[in-house]
Chains A and B, each alone.
Chain A
């Protein structure tokens, strides 16, 4: 059981370039989300999805797009990379149940540097 898989693990971009961070889960989880981790700031929610075809913005969505065409995949797109987007990005998934406390499972992270 692979869990949550993120690719690539490392990436260096030039300012203005675009790229897609891939995230896939094999646990049939409805809920998927993207966080960025910056020193001293914890994890901040970028975008999330409660199911295929449904996405919404989190705390820091500017400069990022997402789509959810299947239950398994939730790619994060950087439209025009900026140095402020240098960060470690984590994808997470969880069951989506009203009234039930369900923990999130995280991928290994993508370390992105924008120069």
Chain B
């Protein structure tokens, strides 16, 4: 069974500072990994996804994520945080199956708060 852990319920960072939102995963095969962002009273928006071979993935709004197979992690990063980045962030994983299948398993989410 696949699973995702986001160990921090909330991350606080000052505007202009770098931010990291942590994610670790467990799958039986190779993972497909994703980050989504949710603003208040909105649906989830896709930020970025892991593509095999590219350990540093770049996504929307200046976000990037670093895939580390040995540590089974896929941490979300941004070099300089903005107040507008404040939102709920979800990491998600999908096992790479032989026959297809798109079932995503989500972490519990990390609330990012960027302060002036």
Contacts and interface: CB of A to CB of B under 8 A. Distances in A.
Nearest to A105: B46
Interface string B93-116: 010111111111111110000000
A45 interface: yes
A42 B100 contact: no
A102 B102 contact: yes
A22 to B, nearest CB: 15
Given A50-B100, A94-B102, A103 B49 contact: yes
Interface residues of A, number: 29
Given A42-B108, A50-B100, A108 B46 contact: no
B55 interface: no
Given A41-B108, A42-B109, A101-B49, A108 B102 contact: no
Contacts of A103: 34, 46, 49
A44 B101 CA distance: 16
Given A42-B90, A103-B34, A108 B100 contact: no
B112 to A, nearest CB: 15
Contacts of B49: 101, 103
B100 A43 contact: no
Contacts of B105: 45
A104 B102 contact: yes
A90 B44 contact: yes
B101 A45 contact: no
B106 to A, nearest CB: 4
Contacts of B100: 50, 96-98
Residue from the set B34, B50, B101 with the largest chain A CB neighbour count within 10 Å: B101
Contacts of A33: 102-104
Nearest to A43: B106
Contact of A101 (B42, B51, B99, B108): B51
A106 B45 CA distance: 7
Q: Which 8 A-B pairs have the closest CB atoms?
A: A106-B43, A42-B106, A98-B100, A106-B44, A43-B106, A42-B108, A31-B102, A101-B32
